[in-house]
Copies of this chain bind each other. A is one copy, B any other.
Amino acid sequence: MGRIGIIGVGHTKFGKRSDASLRELAFEAYSSALDDADMDSSKIDGSVVCSATHYDKQRSPAGVVAEYLGLNPQPTFNVEAACASSAVGLRTGWALVSSKLHDVMAVVGVQKMTELSSEEIQELMGRAGDVMWESPFGTTMPAYYAMYATAHMAKYGTTEEQMALVTVKNRKYGSKNPNAMFQKPITTEEVLKSRPVSAPLKLFDCCANADGAACLIIANAEKAKKLTDRPVWVAGLGLASSPMSLAGRTGPLTSFDVTKNAAKAAYQMAGVGPNDVDVAEVHDSFSITEILNYEDLGFAKPGSGTRLLEKGETELGGKIPVNIDGGLISKGHPVGATGASQLFALTRQLRGEAGSTQVDGAKLGLAQNIGGIGMYSAVTILRA
């Protein structure tokens, strides 16, 4: 397998972006990625557009995005894996470049959500679960993850206070990220007092729906070395699936097998283990999700993810800094853009360009991105 490099990254401000349509958000991320790579559009020989469906009126958005970005007549299409769409987009782009169908591609993650009412979004989120046997009975995303939280609490004694620490940490770092939707630190007490969404998850345990886009420009080794002097290499790619329905899953709801499987594949491909990771981005759609991910990625033993938080091990300066760009909880979660946003943050870390949140000497970064209620999980390992 050839080495594929990330040679440019771009990111919009996430949040309520009434100023920009879907195509404009995509353009903003794409043009900033081109600027970052110091190149023009002419070298891009294909694009992958990653967007969860239904949030925007536009169907098949690759059509309008490729047009607006000036990427015709090069190949383009849509890749979707719910919240993991653009992590899977990178995997797909990696394969297209590795297979030599393409040399330099743009992977664009984009989502426009805030024009919908929260009722509409809730209903749509449920439909990323099984529409035949589950969503008609009220399984929206917070309800699904609340079941995981409850199971973890019951088995390991995890508390709401401990879960709140995820939000407190991520909001602290979100305050340093100008692209984040929420840039104000928050206290444990504020999290605990926030209104219930789906018990035990409260408002500030949850990430927010947002508009936004992020873009990765990737190239084969030869082109990457020619086009930039600071490529970041894709070292490991893991993707796994799990039954979409909870009913179809075996075992307790205290971990995600899908993430363990994806992590195993990514670690194996990169030839590394969890202890080698210098900086990580994990899917914190809810506070509990980040804790489960610590455990499923091997950063902590089962049931002990909360101890990493209590000891500050996932803070800047800790053993394995996690989501020090603010995570989904601070940045917001424009579904299709989230995976690429994580990889944007890692790329800047591995280049040593993360400013006040730079992890000293970071050489290996890991991003983990869950789709829906864990029917997909993607783990990507990048190397400086």
Query: Contact between B64 and A130 (Cβ–Cβ < 8 Å)?
Result: yes
The docked-state distance in angstroms from the alpha carbon of A57 to that of B59 is 14
On chain A, the number of residues with a Cβ less than 8 Å from chain B's Cβ atoms is 59
From known contacts A60-B53, A60-B82, infer whether A77 and B128 are also in contact, taking CB-CB under 8 Å.
no
In the complex, which residue of chain B has the Cβ closest to the Cβ of A91?
A: B101
Interface residues of A in 166-198 (CB under 8 A from B): none
Q: Mark A91-104, 1 if CB is under 8 A from B, else 0.
A: 11011101111000
Cβ of B261 and Cβ of A73 under 8 Å apart? Answer: yes
Q: Is the CB of A375 within 8 A of B53?
A: no
Q: Is the CB of B371 within 8 A of A63?
A: yes
A376 within 8 A of B: yes
Most buried by B among A54, A73, A91, A98: A73
CB distance from A336 to the nearest CB of B (A): 11
Which among A1, A59, A77, A245 has the highest number of chain B CB atoms within 10 Å? A77
Residues facing B in A61-118 (CB within 8 A) are 62-64, 66-67, 71-82, 88, 91-92, 94-96, 98-101
Are A240 and B127 interface neighbours, CB within 8 A? no
* Listed residue (A78, A88, A240, A257) with the most chain B CB atoms within 10 angstroms of its CB: A78
Q: A239 — which chain B residues lie within 8 A by C-beta?
A: 75, 77
10 further A-B contacts with Cβ under 8 Å, apart from A59-B82, A60-B80, A66-B375, are: A1-B101, A52-B59, A72-B242, A72-B243, A72-B248, A73-B242, A73-B261, A75-B241, A77-B371, A101-B237
* A contact residues vs B (CB 8 Å cutoff): 1, 21, 23, 52-54, 57-60, 62-64, 66-67, 71-82, 88, 91-92, 94-96, 98-101, 124, 127-128, 130-132, 237, 239-245, 248, 257-258, 261, 371-372, 375-376
Can you offer 10 A-B residue contacts whose CB atoms are under 8 A? A53-B59, A62-B81, A63-B241, A67-B244, A75-B240, A77-B79, A77-B376, A78-B80, A95-B96, A99-B99
